[in-house]
Amino acid sequence: MSDQQRLRALLYSAEAPTPAQRARFERFIEIKYNERCYFLWVKDPNIIDGFRLEVGSDIYDWSIAGRLNQLKDAMRAVRPAPGEDIIPLLKKAVDDFIPLPVSEEIGTVMTVGDGVANVRGLKHAEYGEILLFDGNVRGMVQNIDKQGVGCILFDDDGEVEAGSRVHRTKRSAGVPVGEGFIGRVTDALGVPIDGKGEITPSGYRPVEHSAPGIAARQPVNEPLRTGILAVDSMFPIGRGQRELIIGDRQTGKTAIAIDTILNQKGQGVYCIYVGIGQKASSVRRLVSTLTEHGAMEYTTVLLASASDPAPLQYIAPYAGCAMAEYFMEQGKDVLIIYDDLSKHAVAYRSLSLVLGRSPGREAYPGDVFYLHSRLLERSAHLSASKGGGSMTALPIVETLAGNVSAYIPTNIISITDGQIFLDTALFRSGQRPAVNVGLSVSRVGGDAMTGAMRSASGTLRLDLAQYREMKVFTQFSNYLDDETQKNLRSGETLMNVLKQEQYRPYQEWEQAVILAAATAKALDGLDENGFADSLHKLCEGFSKVRGDVVERIKSGAKLSDEDRTAIAEYAKAAEYA
């Protein structure tokens, strides 16, 4: 065996080891590694006293310098709460300090760039493990092959260069979780960025976690109301469901998510908004909207903005999901919004390309389906024995020119329980929210619909489908008989009923009253200007004269024929000025 192939052992110390010491080290290596080594002594006055032994990529440190470094790390870890005196904490850290002889695996950076480092020498590093680079840069193992490990970096890689040392932490990537995060804005790893001080976490959870199994789940049977009539009446969402919001850019996707958060006020649902690849300024605006409406009281915002490195954008949804799981496992209901997963996939694609994985369809790596399925599978409605908590997910996906059959949209459509498709043409024509009734669907939420809504929404989808068809057939004819004109007008009224301003959610009984009036064609004569205001007035007026019906709807009863007649008559007779 040549010297180059032999195991290399380097012994660092200030003074040369005595022959007896040297023999002891050689014996230690022989027992530990079962092979004779090429032994070299290196004079290093920085060691001060004691020895530091490097064998291959392993390090054994019995030196004073090593212990001083340990002490330095212990002092660095001291974090006073806002306003707390740091001196007693430092004293305690010094008193509690016990130096340990360390043995660890050390890696060496081979290449670094674009948020990715390739590291050699960490034979035992595991997938998803956090690695520490020089300058306290954090990374996560993302690739393992014969040459070494590929690692994504969460901090600025400025200080990391070829030859830098890498330490294992033996911890998988995780985020702090807990009640302290409610009302806060953090980065993708749970570090606050809203300037309101540190957050005291209640725990620490791995970002990657397996989804609850079948036995731990129960069917989706409780509604999660968005307050948006077009969604709640036709595409109801249940707690624990995954409903995709999909559409071209600027079609009101985020608006639906925000309205849904606003509507959870007082419903005992804790909300998490994960912004991925969004402009920091638009998320700031979103936070101030939520604050204005009192919705930050039950909401956490995680942000990996477009200017953050790709690794942070990649990890953000999993981190948000871990925070949501913490609450779900306590039996609480959580709503989580991933805005948006197309940018998430793009971030993952660039990481994968830099890591040297082979590109597949649309240059995405082969496991891009698994990227989103393992995330969305973690949404669930837990069984009663598991506390009965739930995590409802509203992932958002951006399409190009309405193309839902592109790679990422089809993947996510097949993972979710339905989609709300937003249409650019509808949006431009003023139909907002621009829900395309024909292409949207909710596969499980119907069971979660309550009595009044179910009976009021009845034939709405069918009526709208007929209206759409009739409109297509009649658009070129200049003569329309009375019957057709009346039907077209009713269809238009329905479309108007479904228009809704932002930040103005309807309560459930209001939705039932409006739908009952609309399907009875009692709103056909209404002026198109101020239509929304008229609807609000209708509800207000009706609740004054027939409070009993409203109460019954609130208690979850179906609408009786008598109720419907009462609503229709009131709607026809009432004056909306």
**Active site (catalytic) residues:** 443
Q: Which does 344 bind (CB under 5 to 8 A by kind): ligand ATP, Mg ion, none?
A: none
Helix ranges, 34-140 (H): 64-76, 86-96
Closer CB to ligand ATP, residue 452 or residue 495?
495
- Shortest Cβ 525–Mg ion spacing (Å): 37
Closer CB to Mg ion, residue 258 or residue 522?
258
Contact 505, 259 (CB under 8 A): yes
Query: What are the DSSP calls for 421-465, one per residue?
Result: EE-HHHHHTT-SS-B-TTT-EESSGGGG--HHHHHHHTTHHHHHH
Alpha-carbon distances of 261 from 216, 243, 266, 285, 334, rounded to whole Å? 27, 14, 11, 15, 10
Q: Write the CB contacts of 371 (distance below 8 Å, at least 6 apart in sequence).
A: 344, 345, 348
Q: Which does 142 bind (CB under 5 to 8 A by kind): Mg ion, ligand ATP, none?
A: none
Sole binder of ligand ATP in the list 13, 63, 254, 299 (CB under 6 A)? 254
Site for Mg ion, rule CB under 5 A: 254
Q: How many residues bind ligand ATP (CB under 6 A)?
A: 14
Closer CB to Mg ion, residue 240 or residue 409?
409
- Shortest Cβ 342–ligand ATP spacing (Å): 10
Interface stretch with ligand ATP, choices 107-115, 251-259, 346-354, 378-386 (CB under 6 A): 251-259
* Residue 278 Cα to chain centre, angstroms: 13
**Token representation of residue 220:** 């989706």
**Range 443-502, binding ligand ATP (CB under 6 A):** 500-502
Q: Which does 502 bind (CB under 5 to 8 A by kind): Mg ion, ligand ATP, none?
A: ligand ATP
Closer CB to ligand ATP, residue 254 or residue 300?
254
Alpha carbon distance 75, 498 (integer Å): 60
Q: Which does 501 bind (CB under 5 to 8 A by kind): Mg ion, ligand ATP, none?
A: ligand ATP
Using the rule CB under 6 A, is 389 a contact of ligand ATP?
no
Q: Which does 432 bind (CB under 5 to 8 A by kind): ligand ATP, Mg ion, none?
A: ligand ATP
**Token representation of residue 100:** 């340990």
**Token representation of residue 83:** 């306003």
Closer CB to ligand ATP, residue 431 or residue 543?
431
SS3 content of the chain, % helix, strand, coil (to 5): 40, 20, 35
- Shortest Cβ 494–ligand ATP spacing (Å): 17
Sole binder of ligand ATP in the list 115, 139, 150, 252 (CB under 6 A)? 252
Q: What is the largest CA-CA distance in the chain?
A: 111
Closer CB to ligand ATP, residue 21 or residue 282?
282
- Shortest Cβ 252–Mg ion spacing (Å): 8
C-beta neighbour count of 539 within 10 angstroms:
20
